[in-house]
Amino acid sequence: MSEHDRPAWPLGRFAGLVTLSGVLVWAFAIAVLGTDRRAYSDMVGWSGNVVSRVLLSVVVFAAVLHLVDGIGRCFPSSRPERWRAAAWFAALAVGVPAAAVLVWPFVEGRVS
């Protein structure tokens, strides 16, 4: 089976959509900065709660998963499951610490 005949990984596609959505939201927020600082402050104000930080952690996890899966697709391989395993390992190795850093202030009660 050649690299082009390999079926798409649905989780890789979903991770790409999550990453794209996260980037578009922040790109829109930064674009608003150029027009109205108060609107930008209001828009970014929602990012201080625990739900938004967990969502940002999911975006980081999805970005790493999508990145490593995409790199794996750039190189021909007879064992694509190895790249998928590497993608999961990298996503967990980066995503879990990122989630801990983002959510830990809420766990300790420093942020309300």
pLDDT digits (tens, 9 = 90+) for 21-41: 888 888 887 887 778 888 777
Q: Specify the DSSP class assigned to residue 84.
A: H
CATH number of the domain bearing residue 39: 1.20.1300
Q: Is residue 112 part of a domain?
A: no
Q: Is residue 38 part of a domain?
A: yes
Total domain count for the chain? Answer: 1
- Quick check: 6 pLDDT over 80? no
Which has more pLDDT, 93 or 79?
93
Mean pLDDT of the 45-60 span? 82
Name the range with the highest mean pLDDT among 5-9, 52-56, 96-100.
Answer: 96-100
Q: Is residue 4 part of a domain?
A: no
Q: Which residues, other chains included, contact 62 with Cβ-Cβ below 8 Å and sequence gap of 6+?
A: 14, 15, 16, 18, 19, 22, 91
Mean pLDDT of the 83-106 span? 88
Mean pLDDT of the 44-54 span? 79
Please state, rounded to an integer, the average pLDDT across all residues of the chain: 81
Q: Is residue 15 part of a domain?
A: yes
- Quick check: 104 pLDDT over 90? no
Residue-number span of the structural domain to which 41 is assigned: 10-105
Q: Specify the DSSP class assigned to residue 2.
A: -
Which has more pLDDT, 48 or 74?
74
Q: Is residue 1 part of a domain?
A: no
